[in-house]
Amino acid sequence: MNWLPPFVLGLWGAVLLQAWGSGRLNLLLQADFHWLVLVSGLLLLALAGLAARFAPKRRSGRTPALVMLLAAPLVLSG
């Protein structure tokens, strides 16, 4: 399969985990939602791994993946 979508999904998993681990969430989000960000980050990483392993080879719909790819490092940088 096209490597880009699973890679971008994993990258966003890392973005959420970094936001949770760095304490940045304390400034951005109510405490009640922090666990959701953590669980979502872990889930996105797991899904990225599964998609890279099992999803069929197909090369279409790359634009959203590229947009998300470009945005992830920006959010990661804080």
Partner 1 sequence: MGIVLKLGMNWPDGSQWQTVWAVFQGLLLEAIPFLLIGVAIATAARAWDPRGRWLQRLPRHPLLGPLSGAALGFALPACECGNVPVARRLLAQGAPMGASLGFLFAAPVLNPIVLLSTWAAFPDRPWLLLLRPLGSVVIALVLTTLLQQLSEAALLAPDLLEERRMGQPLATASLLDRRSGLIGNQPLSTTPAIAAERPSMGVLLDHGLREFLELGSLLLLGCGIAATIQTLIPRDLFLAVGQAPTLSVLSLMLLAVVVSVCSSVDAFLALGFAAMVTPGALLAFLLLGPVIDLKSISLFSRIFRRRGILLMLAGVVVAVLLIGQWLNLVLL
Contact assessment for residue 52 and residue 6, using Cβ atoms and an 8 Å cutoff: yes
Q: How far is CA 8 from the centre of its chain?
A: 6
Closest CA to 1 of 61, 72, 71, 69: 61
Question: What number of chain residues touch partner 1 (CB under 8 A)?
Answer: 39
Chain residues 44-73 in contact with partner 1, contact rule CB under 8 A:
44, 47, 50-51, 54-56, 58, 60-61, 63-65, 67-68, 71
The yes or no reply on residue 33 touching partner 1 (CB under 8 A) is yes
Question: What is the C-alpha to C-alpha distance for residues 64 and 13, in angstroms, rounded to an integer?
Answer: 16
Question: Which residues here bind partner 1, judged by CB under 8 A?
Answer: 1, 5-6, 8-9, 12, 16, 19, 24-25, 27-30, 32-33, 36-37, 39-40, 43-44, 47, 50-51, 54-56, 58, 60-61, 63-65, 67-68, 71, 75, 78
